[in-house]
Structure 1
Amino acid sequence: MEIPTKPTGRREEPPPPEHLGEVECLRLLRSVEVGRLAVRLSDGGVDVFPVNFVIDDGTVLFCTAAGTKLSSIQVEPIVAFEADHFDWYERTAWSVVVKGTTVQVTDPAEILELRDGELEAWQHDRKPFFVRITNPMITGRRFTVRRRIEP
């Protein structure tokens, strides 16, 4: 049985990552539907949840049901949110991170408006709570993934 060896050839060094401004970060976030929400749990640990979301007035807006995610952000509202994309053909990728404070939407008029909006839960379960990440600190970068060049 042959032991696999490292592929021959050299790796092309990609250009350095491009740091993105807030406007470009928000544009990229609008181009995807799912991100990951990192929360601190009541036992001191952390967990990450995939959420579908929209960008609403410069904030990340998502809906959720009662459970770990909602109870965690009610106790510790500071969160991190991340979304990204990888283009297989161009071998480019981007990643945007939003850090901020979650606020549950409680105004009945706003909740009615949001229920008629573009944000819908992907699962059949009812997700009646809308949550916004406010005071966002938004950072992002775009980068090229290294390619192997044949000799």
Structure 2
Amino acid sequence: MTTINRRRALSGTAAIAVGVPVLAACGSDETDSATDPATSGASDPTSDPSSSETSDAGGGEALASAADVPVGGCFVVSAAKIVVTQPTEGDFKAFTAVCTHQGCLVETSSDGTIPCPCHSSTFSLEDGSPISGPASSALASVAITVDGDSITRA
């Protein structure tokens, strides 16, 4: 029988010797729908499955309808990784929906900010700048076109 001492147990060779898988204790390899590009938006009610279609009007990617975006809030188009905001009625802006802290997707909201669910960062509806951290960089601006009720990527 193999004797397991402290050094062997901590180095992982004891676990291999007895057939137990070794698990890392540091870092995070968690995969969830907010951070995994393969699953983000797969069952997310904040994105319209047709949002990746091309619009005939603007020639760009259809993102949302104006009705999807609350005044004083934002609407996340998960498939495109874009968040569309409406800081004041009729004033639409768009930013990347990928949080600048650790790459999670921000969430749809009507509370006056763009919230990130992973570490509670919030961003401005006006310019994508961070309001509260840990994120310290602004969300990148995305050019959009609003034609009637249709919002498309420019």
TM-score tier after normalising by the smaller chain length = under 0.3
Higher alpha-carbon Rg: 2
Which TM-score applies when normalising by structure 2? 0.23
